[in-house]
Amino acid sequence: MKTIRVAERTIAYREEGSGPALLLLHGFCGSHAYWDKVVPELAKEYRVLATDLPGHGGTSHVEGAETIDAMADEVKLLLDQAGVDKVILLGHSLGGYLALSIAQRYEDRLLGFGLIHSTAYPDSPEAKKGRDANVEKVGQQGIAVLIDGL
């Protein structure tokens, strides 16, 4: 694992292979390890970067609300510091929402993107309530309560 300092945060990421850059973005409560089984194969043709999103895995949490757009800005800084000019994004779940934000904010940096178990459509009111309840539960009781319920 590599780490870099971006603003007030330490970002952890795995890097393997060479070729066009491919950034893998995991889902809520995940880490770069979500991609462990596919990284070796992808690294045969790509420079693969698999990051831990803010507050996940080895990436530190900072006080205040995490927004998708703020995460997108930090990912852009990660790419800058890693010397990546153009990138393909692959996002799972929350990582898909993040990929969409990066695509919208930094389209000039994109070679392409894909979504896995994610959507470009907004959440339904019921889905938002469920997501908000999970965030509150994790904030009060820690991540184990959510993981145990999976």
Query: What is the reported pLDDT for 149?
Result: 58
Q: What is the pTM of this model?
A: 0.85
pLDDT value of position 20? 98
One digit per residue, the tens of pLDDT, for the chain of length 150 reads 899 888 788 999 999 999 999 999 999 888 999 999 999 999 999 999 999 998 888 888 877 667 899 999 999 999 999 999 999 999 999 999 999 999 999 999 999 999 999 988 777 888 888 878 877 887 787 767 766 655
- The candidate with the shortest Cα–Cα distance to 14, out of 32, 40, 41, is 32
Q: What is the DSSP letter of 81?
A: H
